[in-house]
A and B are shown apart, each in its own frame.
Chain A
Amino acid sequence: MTETTEPLVSAPVSPGRAKFLRFLIRDAGVLLALVLITLFFSLSAPYFATPGNALKIFVQIAINTVLAAGMTFVILTGGIDLSVGSVLALCTVVGATIMIDESLSPAVAITLALLACMATGAACGLLNGWISTRWKIPSFIVTLGMLNMAAGAARVVSDNSTITGLPQSFVDFGNLIVGGFLPSIFLVAVLVIAAGWFVLRFTVFGRMIFAVGTNDEAVRLSGHNPDFYKVAAFTISGLTAGIAAMVYLLRLNIGSPIAGVGYELNAIAAVIIGGTSLSGGKGSIIGTLVGACILQVLSTGLQLLGVGDNFKPIVIGLVIVLAVILDAYRERLLRRIR
């Protein structure tokens, strides 16, 4: 029963300007924040605005960006995936175990490892989605269970030890820096983001993800099966955890059952800072990329400023909370412009 459909007096905000304002507030807001934070550290922190440091940031955001891309799908449907960190750990030991198998040629081993990582991750995600939709259990609980199960499975597979000795060609690819400033693993992350962006923006499937997150009952009564899309979102999140595991192996060259601890929270933080709503239906994957950048720029910048490891998490925590407050405020602004 809103009363805003028939303006009686010509609107003070013209449609063209409203559109621009909307863009500024909804889409450009996070980007603007990133630019300002980067500018701040460039001016205040020594060594921040150097090519070497930029390269380091690119390397460091890769894993979180890939995880957060899949997480965006899940959060858009109104779910949450707490298991990605330990699923990543499981995938690193699965991938590493295959790659150090000397009976395989490096090329075959690497290909098999990639496929195994993606399959393992996707299977975990599929299980998450299936259990939570089949028995209507909040995904928070199901994925909390998976967090523990995958962590345990990683220990079993690795016999609770770190796996080293990956093929040299694999290690070389991980150290590759394209054009002198784009690390290979950052490119992988950008590819994953681009794929996610394309799917969410242009495909029927992407549209349904948003629709399910907005009102799954309305989607069901419109003749669809919302559970399918929820399960798919979890599977995608698992799949990206598998890809993130390969990125982890490329970067650190070890498979470890204790890898990925706390990664799920960083991924969720990136998604939320990026403007995706925890209640589902609203958000964008480009925002997620920007969110991941903000987190890393902050972390690196604070370190260069000499803020100790004890205080750094306090600042980052504050920023996450601030982002959510801004998001709520942004919604209110948007509603006024409409």
Chain B
Amino acid sequence: MDEAILSLEGVGKIFPGAVALSDVSLSITRGETHIILGENGAGKSTLIKLLAGIYQPDSGTIAFSGQPYQPKTPHDAQQSGIRVVHQELNLLPYLSIAENLMLESLPRRRFGIVDRKALNRRAVALLEEVGLDVDPRTRVEALGVAQMQLVEIAKALSYDSRLLVLDEPTATLTPPEIERLFSIIKRLKARGVTIIYISHRLHEVFEIGDRVTVLRNGRLVATRDLHGLSVPDIVRMMIGRDIADEFGFDASLVPGKVALSVTNLKRSAATPEISFAVRHGEILGVAGLVGSGRTEAMRALFGADAKLDGVVEIDGRPVAITAPKDAVRHGLSLLTEDRKGQGLLLDLAVDKNITITDLGKVSRHGLVNRRAEAAAAKDLIGQLRVKASSIEQAVRNLSGGNQQKVVLAKWLFRGTSTLILDEPTRGVDIGARREIYQLLWMLAAAEKGIIMVSSDLPELMGMCHRIIVFSKNKIVGEVPRAEFDQERILSLAYQEYVRP
């Protein structure tokens, strides 16, 4: 059973100005679930893109099933039996699930007319395999992110793939959804499918992985059996040093007066009223399944989406917020879950992204003072340790963690009293993650109110003074730090969904 299905020999990939992957030799055994770990910029994405036929290696060779493997396009890769489920999902939102599943070979009748019956019948079978109980005629746009992820996996299965590459499949999933994904992975494994699994979440890989390969700075650090390794072992391999306490909860901080309170916020006629508050110097956690209304509540509070009713008070004074500009004027900041789509001006430079929140600060009589702007930006990227070649670098070319720091920098530039952070560490590597945690503690120490929405429960339990739990658009509970308990928070998150 120790036969290698995929083997890489001295594989390297160079981009102008950077070596992305250097001399990587790796052998994947048929039927195993192989975990690949590494910080952002370690070379994981490049490795995946080589397998997917998006890039071609500059040196070394890859063999798949004993044959040389040199895909020129993603299509070649699929033909060979390697299927990659990318982190950014590639579904067509306006087509049905069934059409998405079999887009590359739609069942046909005469004259090229699509055989809808066969299409939907096969789709049902595929969806059953991944445990997704949805009508295959549903348009993909109507699905949640977790469901889309499952559709992607079902799509990969429809091609009889022998090697399945999953790139951070759990980044947007909540614990119960992750559990379901894992049981699917185990089932696939039992069927003999080889799986390469990339993740940022170290705790979860032990449950499904057989072996782990760690990359750092484009080089292979080690390939080991997961059995017998611990999380600190892996972290040490990933960053080359120890991380003592990931979160660094500061027990000396005592929350002060209420900074922001929301009373009877009602988004629409169909959603219940919600109320919550965050104090100065407090980190308030917001837990709940994806789609439980956490993000929507934050957006409504911030004026990003319309709301029906509700009172928002800042430092005890009611304020009218009908658009984001009102919220910003009153000292609120929102770090959105979709950093690229809603947080950043990807093609503009770092400094322009930072000053966008308050150009008035670096301008006179409507003219931008470029020197003042550059100075302010330099100051902030220094403080936040943003790794950029210069402040003129386009934000698009930064890593996830550095992009997130730029989003934080733009709100710090404006000056803020309460920050709402929606999934602040999604797609952020462990080193940058820790720096973001430290920054949040600095902000809390400076008496800012912080609301932290996250799907990563250990993160919330590590960082927060209190956690409120959303379930089906409702706040179903509040758990103080002394009573933090994963089971309890999860059962709250599920509460409204399990009832008949």
Contact = CB atoms under 8 A, between A and B. Distances in A.
Interface string A1-17: 11111111101110100
In this complex, the member of A15, A203, A221 whose beta carbon has the largest number of chain B beta carbons within 10 angstroms is A221
A214 B346 contact: yes
Contacts of B427: 1
Contacts of A282: 347
Contact of A225 (B87, B325, B363, B366): B325
A9 B19 contact: yes
Nearest to B327: A223
A327 B397 CA distance: 20
Contact of A5 (B218, B325, B347, B398): B398
A338 B393 contact: yes
A43 to B, nearest CB: 37
Contacts of B91: none
A204 interface: yes
B424 to A, nearest CB: 15
A12 B17 contact: yes
B328 A3 contact: no
Contacts of B344: 215, 218
Interface in A322-338: 335-338
Contacts of B22: 8
A15 B390 CA distance: 10
Interface in B422-461: 427
A257 to B, nearest CB: 38
A223 B328 contact: yes
A204 B367 contact: yes
Contacts of B414: 223
A234 B15 CA distance: 41
Nearest to B344: A218
Interface string B332-372: 00101000011111111000100011011001001110000
Interface string B14-55: 111111101000000000000000001101011000000000
A99 B324 CA distance: 48
Contact of B366 (A7, A204, A211): A204
Interface string B233-269: 0000000000000000000000000000000000000
Nearest to A281: B347
A6 B324 contact: no
A12 B16 contact: yes
A320 interface: no
A5 B356 contact: no
Contacts of B394: 338
B17 A7 contact: yes
The CB with the most chain A CB atoms within 10 A, among B18, B46, B398, B410, is that of B18
Given A3-B41, A8-B19, A338-B393, A211 B352 contact: yes
Contacts of A1: 40, 45, 87, 399-400, 427
Number of chain A interface residues as a range: 35 or more
B334 A202 contact: no
A217 B356 CA distance: 13
B59 to A, nearest CB: 14
B4 interface: no
A205 interface: yes
Contacts of B390: 15
Nearest to B345: A214
A24 to B, nearest CB: 16
B170 to A, nearest CB: 16
B323 interface: yes
B325 A9 contact: no
B121 interface: no
Contacts of A214: 345-348
A2 B359 CA distance: 28
A2 B387 CA distance: 13
B329 interface: yes
Nearest to A280: B347
Contacts of A15: 389-390
Nearest to A225: B325
A168 interface: no
Nearest to B218: A8
Interface of A: 1-9, 11-13, 15, 202-205, 207-208, 210-211, 214-215, 217-225, 281-282, 335-338
Given A7-B18, A221-B324, A225-B325, 12 more contacts: A1-B427, A3-B43, A4-B15, A8-B22, A204-B359, A214-B345, A215-B342, A215-B345, A219-B356, A221-B343, A223-B324, A224-B356
22 contacts: A1-B87, A1-B427, A2-B398, A3-B399, A5-B387, A5-B398, A6-B18, A7-B19, A9-B19, A204-B363, A208-B359, A210-B348, A211-B345, A215-B342, A215-B344, A218-B341, A220-B324, A221-B302, A222-B410, A281-B348, A282-B347, A337-B16
Shortest 8 CB-CB distances between A and B: which pairs? A223-B328, A11-B17, A7-B18, A214-B345, A8-B19, A223-B325, A204-B359, A3-B20
